[in-house]
Amino acid sequence: MAIGGTLDIENEASQPIARFVLREVAQQMR
């Protein structure tokens, strides 16, 4: 699972996208 690394890159590129991805991942993990 390279979500952490991808999240780091997305966070540096654009925080809004990273937040959206984080929300989707959190919902899927629940």
pLDDT in the model for residue 7: 60
Task: Please report which confidence band the pLDDT of residue 24 belongs to, taking 50, 70 and 90 as the band edges.
Answer: very high
* Domain ranges across the chain: 1-30
Dihedral sign (CA 21, 8, 10, 3): negative
User: Tens digits of per-residue pLDDT, 3-18?
Assistant: 555 666 655 656 777 7
Q: At what angle do helices 15-29 and 3-13 cross, to 10 degrees?
A: 150
User: pTM, whole model, 2 decimals?
Assistant: 0.42
Per the model's pLDDT, the better-predicted residue between 29 and 1 turns out to be 29
